């Protein structure tokens, strides 16, 4: 495709939801200013929607809408495809078809890129087109571009990040305002930060897809999302935030990937962070990703991670990047380097500090029984708190933090502890990150 002479490029948009609406509105409203900025006139040619009768913004002409994807994917007039449909299918098939048709593709689809990214990038290279996906992770944070370009000379040892704005908003409300999980979730939905079905956000699935993408880039391999350990935030209670604060920690839902020789540890779960840690200070819908490399040291990327505007910003950034490359000598056909022989390690092999909260009988000798089991598994106690004694039920909460221990040993201990007559419930198990 050679558009150097025409100075006009036509864009086909797949999807007109929150992000798609933002992209379409910007391209239509700011067409003249974009042309001045890029030196190219961007024409929004067609928009794929599911329902033509659905009410749309007045700024989007009805004539642009279609329910037939072939009017976009197979049109010789369309140069670039922007996919903001979400979901695995049919989005993956549409992206593949667009690439095979010689069209550049910009996508915000984290699920597709996590599951099929390496294959699609290879396909794009074969067809000499660009496939850009900055909007798939971190909203407005330019983490994809930095891992792919600016930090590529580094041997990355670890990535840690808050990569789901919805979960971070909920945890912030639970921490700062003592809101119960359900109330915080309702508020997130009212603010437009959470979907009507928030499962992928609150159960960590969304973060798993994002961690798969950025860890694959960082470690030059495909980290399959199915291999990433995942826990959501639904089990957290306000007591956990209160006790964590007393112990000097904040609770954040983290995506963590680290290189351990020929193994990668990759996991998504809530964790305790020291209050002074940079990630502990990231609140609301903001995201942050900490990258540790041999040359750059520790680098932190921070910005809004949820909502229409940040994602629209990332999508348009990729779109404009494609256009600039088309009108320059810069190559845009490079596929990421892949290193073989790197596998994802089981969570059982993780060594971590832990936070435990247990509901127990309020009687002497309880802590001794628990400590004995932990000691037999080579797990030593760091701090112990007894909280919230119920004089009527004769129960109490015990909060324990441990020194570093193997996950498999900790899980064995908890099973044995839960079988004790004096232990009514193991309420919380959280890992501690330093």
Whole-Å CA distances, 133 to 114, 274, 293, 390 = 11, 32, 22, 53
- What pairing do the DSSP bridges indicate for beta strands 351-361 and 395-402? antiparallel
Identify whether the C-beta of residue 301 lies closer than 8 Å to the C-beta of residue 142: yes
Q: Which of 186-190, 228-232, 251-255 has the lowest mean pLDDT?
A: 186-190
Q: What is the Cα Rg of the chain in Å?
A: 24
Comparing CA positions, the residue from 102, 176, 134 lying closest to residue 316 is 134
Q: Where are the beta strands (DSSP E) in 215-262?
A: 229-230, 249-260
Question: What is the Cα–Cα distance from 175 to 251, expressed in whole angstroms?
Answer: 8
Q: What average pLDDT score do residues 199-227 get?
A: 94
Structure tokens at 364: 């002497």
Q: Classify domain 143-305 at the CATH superfamily level.
A: Dihydrodipicolinate Reductase; domain 2 (3.30.360.10)
The residues assigned a catalytic role are 210
For the chain, the maximum distance between any two Cα atoms, rounded to a whole number of angstroms, is: 85
Whole-Å CA distances, 394 to 118, 356, 399, 421 = 57, 20, 17, 14
CATH of 8-138+309-326, one of 3.40.50.720, 3.50.50.60, 3.30.470.30, 3.40.50.2020: 3.40.50.720
Identify whether the C-beta of residue 67 lies closer than 8 Å to the C-beta of residue 48: yes
Give the pLDDT band of residue 232 (cuts 50, 70, 90): very high
Q: Is this model's pTM higher than 0.85 or not?
A: yes
Q: What is the pLDDT of residue 7?
A: 79
Q: What is the pLDDT of residues 294-319, one digit of tens each?
A: 999 999 999 887 667 778 888 888 88
Was domain 348-432 assigned CATH 3.30.70.260?
A: yes
- Characterize 142-156 residue by residue with b for buried, 16 or more Cβ atoms within 10 angstroms of its Cβ, and e for exposed: bbbbbbbeebeebeb
- Characterize 224-255 residue by residue with b for buried, 16 or more Cβ atoms within 10 angstroms of its Cβ, and e for exposed: ebeebbbbbbbebeeebbebbeebebbbbbbb
Please report, rounded to a whole number, the percentage of residues in the chain having pLDDT higher than 90: 71
| Secondary structure of residue 150 in the 3-state scheme | helix
Taking the domains of the chain in order of start, what are their residue ranges? 8-138+309-326, 143-305, 348-432
Give the pLDDT band of residue 399 (cuts 50, 70, 90): very high
- Residue 147: strand pairing partners: none
Q: What is the pLDDT of residues 169-188, one digit of tens each?
A: 999 999 999 999 999 999 99
Q: 153: number of CA atoms within 13 Å, CB side? A: 4
Give the pLDDT band of residue 120 (cuts 50, 70, 90): very high
Identify whether the C-beta of residue 347 lies closer than 8 Å to the C-beta of residue 412: no
Q: What is the pLDDT of residues 1-22, one digit of tens each?
A: 444 444 789 999 999 988 899 9
Average model confidence (pLDDT) across the chain: 91
Question: What is the Cα–Cα distance from 236 to 55, expressed in whole angstroms?
Answer: 39
Q: What average pLDDT score do residues 144-160 get?
A: 89
Q: What is the pLDDT of residue 179?
A: 96
């Amino acid at each position: 495709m050679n558009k150097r002479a025409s100075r006009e490029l036509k864009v086909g948009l797949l999807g007109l939801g929150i992000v798609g609406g933002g992209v379409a509105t910007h391209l239509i409203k700011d067409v003249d200013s974009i042309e001045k900025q890029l030196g190219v006139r961007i024409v929004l040619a067609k928009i794929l929607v599911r329902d033509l009768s659905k009410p749309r913004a007045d700024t989007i002409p009805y004539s642009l809408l279609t329910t037939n994807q072939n009017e976009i994917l197979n049109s010789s007039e369309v140069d670039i495809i922007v996919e903001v449909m979400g979901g695995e299918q049919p989005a993956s098939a549409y992206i593949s078809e667009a690439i095979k048709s010689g069209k550049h593709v910009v996508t915000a689809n984290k699920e597709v890129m996590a599951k099929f990214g390496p294959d699609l990038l290879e396909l794009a290279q074969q067809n000499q087109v660009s496939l850009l996906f900055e909007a798939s992770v971190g909203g407005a944070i330019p983490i994809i571009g930095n891992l792919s370009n600016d930090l590529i000379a580094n041997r990355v040892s670890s990535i840690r990040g808050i990569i789901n704005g919805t979960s971070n908003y909920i945890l912030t409300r639970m921490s700062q305002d003592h809101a119960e999980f359900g109330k915080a979730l309702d508020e997130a939905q009212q603010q437009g930060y959470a979907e009507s079905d928030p499962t992928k956000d609150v159960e960590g699935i969304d973060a798993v897809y994002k961690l798969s993408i950025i860890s694959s880039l960082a470690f030059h391999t495909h980290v399959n999302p199915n291999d990433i350990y995942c826990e959501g935030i639904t089990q957290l209670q306000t007591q956990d935030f209160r006790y964590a604060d007393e112990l000097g920690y904040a609770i954040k839902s983290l995506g963590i990937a680290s290189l351990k020789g020929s193994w990668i540890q990759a996991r998504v779960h809530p964790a305790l962070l020291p209050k002074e840690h940079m990630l502990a200070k990231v609140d609301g819908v903001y995201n942050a990703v900490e990258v540790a490399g041999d040359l750059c040291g520790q680098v932190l990327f921070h910005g809004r991670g949820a909502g229409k505007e940040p994602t629209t910003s990332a999508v348009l950034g990729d779109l404009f990047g494609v256009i600039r490359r088309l009108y320059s000598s810069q190559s845009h056909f490079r596929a990421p380097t892949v290193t073989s022989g790197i596998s994802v390690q089981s969570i059982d092999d993780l060594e971590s500090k832990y936070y435990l909260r247990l509901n127990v009988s309020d009687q002497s000798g309880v802590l001794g029984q628990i400590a004995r089991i932990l000691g037999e598994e080579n797990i030593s106690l760091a701090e112990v708190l007894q909280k919230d004694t119920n004089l009527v039920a004769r129960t109490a909460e015990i909060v324990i933090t441990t020194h570093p221990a193997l996950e498999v040993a900790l899980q064995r201990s908890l099973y044995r502890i839960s079988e004790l007559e004096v232990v009514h419930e193991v309420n919380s198990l959280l890992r501690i990150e330093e």
